[in-house]
Structures are given as C-alpha cells and as structure tokens.
Structure 1
Amino acid sequence: MKKGTLAEMLKGFGSIEEVAGGFEITSLQSLRVWAMVALVMLHKVFVLPWQGKKKKRLLDDLDSLKNLTVTISRDKLDRPKEGGCFLNEKDLDFFEKNGYLPPFQVISKSEAEQLRGELLDEFSCDFHGKNYMSEKVKDIAERHDQWSIEVAGLYQALRIKSLRALFRRPQITERLASLLGGEVMCWRSQMFHKFPGARGTIWHQNATFRETGKYAKLQPSQKMDPAVIQLNAWVALTDCTEKNGCLRILPGSMGDARMDYLYGYVQDNQIFYLSLLPFSISHLYALLKIALYGTIFVKSTLLFRTAVELLGEDYFDKFKVVDLHMKAGECLIFSSLNMHASYPNTSNDDSRFSVVARCTPNHVRVAPSGVDVYSTAEGLVEYKLPDVPNFQVYGTDSYGYNKVMDD
C-alpha cells in the first residue's frame, strides 16, 4: 500500500474531531446529537447483524462503479482542421485519461483584476438586493456570520454581463464544445474568495449535483458517461499558489465514482451507513455533530473521511496528486467527477479569487424549481430552489428541455 498518497491528499486538513471542534452548537443541538449517537449504537448492536443483504447490495453497487470509462465522441462536433481553440486528438486523449485540460490563458492579468474588483463591489452592495438563494437560507447564514460570496454569488452571471462574456470566450467555449458537443449551456455560476486563514476544501467529486438536496440537479436525457454530465470552467482572477489555496486534482479519478455514490447514499441511509464504521463514542459524536450542523463544505469532510474508512486507503493507490498553480486570467476545465480539493490559505495577506461556470449539454435536464434542503448552521432547512434560466455558451438550444436566457 502506498502510504504517502492519502497523507499527501490530507495536507492542511485536520481530523474529524478537529473539524467538529471548529464550530459551536447549542445545548439543545448537542442533545439531539447525543440522541443520534444512541440510535447509531443501538442500530449497530441490534439491527446491523440482520442487514447482511443490505450491506451486500451496497458493496455490489460500489463494486460496479470502480472502472468507468470516458470516451469523447470524435464526431460530436465539426471541428475545423486549423484555427480556433477546438481540441485535437492529442487533447481529447489527454482528457479521456486525466479528466481535465491543463490551464490555459483566457484574459490578461489586468482584465482579471478589473473583473475581480467589479465582483467584489457587487458583493459589497449585496448584489443590489438580488439573491438567488432563499431568504430563509440567507437569514440563517447572516445570523451565524456565514453569508459569503460563495453563497450570495450563486447564479449572479445571469445579471452580470461581464461574467457571462468571460464564460463565452472562445478559448473556453470551443474547448467545452469539443468535449460536450455543439450545444452547451451554463446551468450555474459561482464565485470563490479564499481569504488568508480560510480552511481548505476537502476532496470531493460530483456527477449530477445532488449535493445535500433530495435529488440530482442534472438529469441526462441521453446515455452519457458520468464524467461528462457536467464540466467546470474554473477561471483564476488572482494568482493561485499552494500558500493561498490553489486547486488540487487526482487525474483519472473520474473513472471511479464510488465516493460520489456514497455522498447520496449517506443522506438516505445515515444511521445504517455510520453503523458500518468502526468508531468510539467521541468519534461518533464528532461525526454526527458535523452531519447535523455542519455547512455544506464542512459536511464534505465527514463524507470524505468516512468513505476512506469504508473503501480503504488503497482506493487512492493508482492516483497521483497534482497541484494546479495558476496565473490570474488562466482557466482550468475539468470533470466534476474528477476528485478535486484545495489547500487552506496559509498566507498572511494573499487572497485567492476565482469564478466558475458549471456547464452541461443542452440535452441534460436541469432540475426544475421546487422544494429542496440545504445544510446550514441550524441544521438542514427546506428552501425553494431558484427558478432561474440557464445561459447558452456555445451553439443554440434545439431540445427545449430547459429555460434558456434570451440575451
């Protein structure tokens, strides 16, 4: 077993107990955690021994997700032989093997600085009162001093023309079209501002973006490889280094979707899942404190750590960590199913700022608005999904499955 792989991945991350100790809960919330601890322990002793078939089904399902392939159709797009930013055979082979494309320049450093300033100005005035998340989620986040640009900035490209223009640059869109076909839309835009002292984002993967909700946000209408249901166009608006929290990736890990599967499975089978794991009472308390009251990024720590306990460290043996040092104005395109993370920001005065367009083919149905759930400091709360359009980044929409912005 390669002892160094997991250790390398966990550079900058604390234990479950350290993560759970990083936020406070009320006495009433603590009582609820202890009640869940008792339920899991009782389940482990009295119920789990009778659930052999359920355990076998889980292991069989996981086994079926070990060796997925990624095949990019070479005839999806009529690529010109010369010119433009369309991918050639070598590029496509690289993506099929690694699940990402090496960073490339999209805008100049000065253009990146200008856009960053515009977006921070927008956030400073609360995006002029336009919030795409529910007021319930915003109220809770503000009460706990957690209303950040990561949440407030969701979908804001719909109203910020300069951000849409960035994501429609041919350097990005022609590469996306080479991978996804001739009709590509952005279904969600986001912003990430990692301040000095900000914690890292733990390793995760995502195919259909169920996240902490009740169902997948992306629902393909055609058979397709899970790795290309959605691709990220992640643009650095500042230089990204190890010290200020650059991205990290496990090339090729989109061929193993077991961890993505467990993210959804845990939410539907929490007590059963936790009872499968070895634990002490204090460790279980920390796990359940995070499960019940951790925000979405904190909760990812629980999912990753427990998945490692279930799958074993050799899950990572065949992969090698790549740190992605990027310059302001560069873009990284990668599959969301490719495991990725970021370092904590250990610098004194150097913030990392980036924006991302989450893109998918137009034949993928984006889940309609409705009631969903969201992880907050006060637990999971129901909220209404925003009824927002997508915006086209390449080609035109011939399917009509989704609302597409007319701009």
Structure 2
Amino acid sequence: MANGDSTFSEMLKGFGSMGDAADFAISKIQVVQIFLMIMVVVLYKLLILPWRGAKKKQLFDELVRLRDLTVTIPRDNVSKDAGEDGFLTEKEICFFEKNGYLPPFQLVSEEQAKNLRREAEEAFADDFEGVSYIGSKIREIEKRHGQWQIESAGLYQALRMRPFRELLRNPKLSHKLASLLGEEVMCWRSQFFDKFPGAEGTIWHQNATFRETGKYAKLQPTKDTDPAVIQLTAWVALSESTVENGCLRFLPGSFGDARMDFLYSFAQDNKLFYIAQLPFSFTYFFNVFKIILFGQIFTKVMLIFLTAAKILGEDFFDKFKVKDLEMKPGECVVFSSLNMHASYPNTCKSNSRFSFVGRCTANHVRVAPGGKDIYSTAEGMVEYELPEVGNFQVYGKDSFGYNKILED
C-alpha cells in the first residue's frame, strides 16, 4: 500500500463505482418498478424517518457493540498432542486468535490438484449428470441468461463426488479444523469457483451465520460460540492463484469488527429505513434499487459494502491492513468467514483461477433448519429446497443428531 493511501482505497483496487455495478440490462417494466420504489423511499424520508429517532439510536448502539469482538479457542478441543499430524500448536492457535486465519499450507501435490480440477470441470461439462441442488427453475433462468456457471451448478456437489469429501478429510486439513472447532466437524456446503479471464472481482464481505439473501441464519449454534468460529472456510487452490488471476485478499483480524455482517442482515430486514440513512441522489438511488431488485448475489454484497461504508465512515477500515494471498496449486488456507475477504478481478488473457471450498462447522450447530433458501437471479429472487441430506462428516462422529449427515 502506497504511503498516504487509505485502507479503503486499497480495498477498492480492481472495482468500479456503484454505477459500474449496476451496469446491466433490465426491462421497461423493471424500470417502472425502480421508479415506484424511489417514490416510496422519498416519501418515507420526508414523512416517517423524522419520527424514527429511537430506532436509529438502537441501530447505532448495536453497531458500537459489534466493534470489539474476540475469539478464544478452547485448548481442550482435541485430545491429540499439539503439532501431531496436523493438529495445531499453541503458537498456531494464538496466530489464528489474532488474525482469523491460518497461513496457506500444502494439502495435496500440484499433480493431485490438477486431477481434481479436471474431475470438477468434466463433471460440470456433463452438467453434473443433470443433478442441481438449487433446483431446475434456477438452472433454467441462469441458462436463459447465460449465467449457468460452476459456482452455482457445483453447489453441494461434493455430496456426490467422494474425492472432494476425502480432500476435506485429509488429516493435514481436518486435524486443523478439529483444533479450532472441536471433536466433531462437518462440511455443510461445498462449492467450486472458476474465476475465468475477464471475470470481475468479489467485493469485500464477511459472514458469521450465512443468512445471505435468505429469511433466516443458516447456521444456528446450540452452544455459546464466538461469532468468528461459527464456521470456517477451507479454500483449496486447484490452480495457481495470483494477483493477476484474482487471488484472495484478507483484512487479518477484522473478525473483531462484525458491523458489516450485521448491516447486511439489517438492510434486508429494514430496507426503507436503511436506505433512508443515505444522502439522496436520484441516480444513486436508481442504481441502489436496480441492484436490490435485480442484481446477482455478489453485486448485492457490493451494494451493502459501499452503502455501509457511507454509514460507518471509510476510515473505520484503517485499523486493518490488506493482505493479498497468492497460492500454489494444492495449497489450502483456513479462515473465519467473519474475517473480511475479497478477491481481485482476473486480468489474465488465458489463466483461470480455480478453487474448491468446503464450509465447515461443529456438529452442535443446526444447519438451515428452515429447509429452504432464496437465490438471487437475473429474474429476481427464487426460493428453492435445500438438500435433504446436505452435510457430511469431516472429523469425528456426530453425537448431536441435529442435522442429517451423509452416510458414506
């Protein structure tokens, strides 16, 4: 980061403005919908917002409470000797408690990573044998708009592809997860990411319970759990990951400030009140509602990030330093999803960045108890049924029985 640059300006490298994020085609009917929403919010700002002082105070009091969170890993999480066969040492646990991630380590060889990538790409080319865990309606919409990619088609597909389940069960990884999450660890969602040449970056975001665009938190702990370790992400590079092709970026330690995650849920539950906090501009509000109503999921995340920065103040990021995480094929990084993270756009001409991700949690956490989720498509929000058996064991055995676990 150059002298004089703010952390916020460093974070925005590779991203455009709000107008750039809203630069996608919509129909005339959708334009009318946006105009109606702008009229509603203007009336709300003029007639109702002045009477909502107590609600505004409650919002900002909650934001203050979320500024200084900590994480403490129980040292008796596992009974094995520290440092043995992948289990974390005291020094490594302390590093995680301070930074919210573990540095990249070699999980499999480069050749094994290449073979796993090939298997995933071949499965996608065969449309995963017609199996879509997010339903046929979403698949049809995304295909109709040319947006059916492995990121959506590959959701939960490790439930069908044993090599990727075994990848997460590799002791080099599973023992690290057990050191942080405890004796019983499961994967509740698997994904593939193929950042092809020309692909946009993923804007900064954080997540504790993965409500996302749904109506409820997908992860609901049944024990007292620090928000930063409700779930951990195991991100495995199946290709080289560089600044040029879109590597991960972190704000180490930012799990201690969970305001962005809170605002993401608050904005969904209090849309008019949240938007009314923003200074009015017709063009700005047009773009805001265009993204809210018709943008894809990561575009909505960008909206939350940019609007939240207006509410929180851009300087709130300055206590953190951006870390770019370049990785080699076969390397893995484990991090708290409450740590703010992002990725660069892929500016290469022919080099894709391909990865596999396992999202892991302790078995005492109830996963998606509602059984449904909402997916953001080019034609609006679409509800779909989550997999009936959507979890598989990564370490230990399930003694809680809160979730359906794949038998394999």
Normalised to the residue count of structure 1, the TM-score between the two structures is: 0.98
Which amino acid is the alignment partner of residue 51 of structure 1?
Answer: R
**Post-superposition offset of 1:60:** 0.8
Structure 1 residues 37 and 94: alpha-carbon distance in aligned structure 2, compared to 1, 3 A threshold: same
- Mapping 1:5-404, distance limit 5 Å: 5-21=7-23, 23-81=24-82, 83-368=84-369, 370-404=371-405
Instruction: Judge which range, 80-89 or 216-225, deviates more.
Output: 80-89
Q: Distance in 2 between the 1:13 and 1:239 partners?
A: 22
Report deviation, 1:376: 1.1
Is 1:4 the equivalent of 2:1?
Answer: no
Letter in 2 for 1:331: C
Q: Residues 392 and 405 of structure 1 are in contact (CA less than 8 Å); yes or no, is this contact kept in structure 2?
A: yes
1:80 CA drift (Å): 1.3
Does structure 1 retain, via aligned residues, the 8 Å contact 2:83–2:89? no
Q: Is the 8 A contact 1:197 1:345 kept in 2?
A: yes
Q: Give the AA of the match of 1:137.
A: I
The answer as to whether partners of 1:134 and 1:386 remain within 8 angstroms in 2 is no
Deviations 1:116-141 (A, max 9, x none): 00100000000011110021211111
Counterpart contact for 2:241–2:247, Cα < 8 Å = yes
Q: Percent identity?
A: 60
Query: What is the CA deviation profile of residues 293-342 of structure 1, one whole-angstrom value per residue up to 9, with x for unaligned ones?
Result: 00101111101000100000121011000000000000000000000000
Tell me how far 1:371 sits from its aligned partner: 3.8
How far apart are the structure 2 equivalents of 1:388 and 1:12? 38
Q: Structure 2: how far apart are the matches of 1:238 and 1:53? A: 51
Deviation at 1:148, TM superposition (A): 0.8
CA distance in 1, matches of 2:371, 2:235: 28
The question of whether the paired residues in 2 share the 8 Å contact of 1:369 and 1:384 is answered with no
Q: Secondary structure at the match of 1:187?
A: strand
Deviation of residue 210 (structure 1)?
0.3
Distance of 1:273 and 1:370 partners within structure 2: 28
Q: Output the CA distance in 1 between the equivalents of 2:237 and 2:279.
A: 40
Q: 1:369: how far off?
A: 5.2
Task: For residue 248 of structure 1, give the secondary structure of its aligned residue in structure 2.
Answer: strand
Q: Secondary structure at the match of 1:266?
A: helix
Secondary structure in structure 2 of the residue aligned to 1:331: strand
Q: Is the 8 A contact 2:252 2:323 kept in 1?
A: yes
What is the SS of the residue equivalent to 1:131?
A: coil
Following superposition, the deviation at residue 372 of structure 1 comes to 3.3
2 CA distance for matches of 1:33 and 1:109? 49
Structure 1 portions without partners, runs of 5+: none
Deviates more, 1:256-265 or 1:76-85: 76-85
Do 2:67 and 2:258's aligned partners in 1 also have CA atoms closer than 8 Å? yes
CA distance in 1, matches of 2:48, 2:370: 38
Q: In 2, distance between residues paired with 1:4 and 1:86? A: 37
What's the CA shift for 1:82? 5.2
**2-structure distance, mates of 1:396, 1:370:** 23
8 Å CA contact retained: 2:391, 2:405: yes
What are the Cα deviations for residues 350-369 of structure 1, in whole angstroms up to 9, with x where unaligned? 00000010000000010135
Q: 1:266 to 1:81 in 2, by over 3 A?
A: closer
Counterpart CA distance in 1 for 2:52 and 2:83 is 59
Question: Distance between the aligned counterparts of 1:81 and 1:253, measured in 2?
Answer: 26
Assess if the C-alpha contact under 8 Å between 1:227 and 1:254 holds in 2: yes
Is the contact between residue 240 and residue 326 of structure 1 (CA under 8 Å) also seen in structure 2? yes
Distance 1:370 1:178, change over 3 A: closer
Length-normalised TM-score, structure 2: 0.98
Structure 2 unmatched runs, 5+: none
In structure 1, C-alpha distance between the alignment counterparts of 2:139 and 2:82, rounded to whole Å? 49
Runs of 4+ with >6 A deviation = none
DSSP 3-state at the match of 1:262:
helix
- What CA distance in whole angstroms lies between the structure 1 residues aligned with 2:83 and 2:207? 34
- Letter of the structure 2 residue corresponding to residue 151 of structure 1: S
Taking only aligned residues, the RMSD between alpha carbons, in angstroms, comes to: 1.2
Q: Secondary structure at the match of 2:388?
A: coil
Instruction: Name the stretch that deviates more: 362-371 or 392-401.
Output: 362-371
Distance 1:327 1:374 in 2: 32
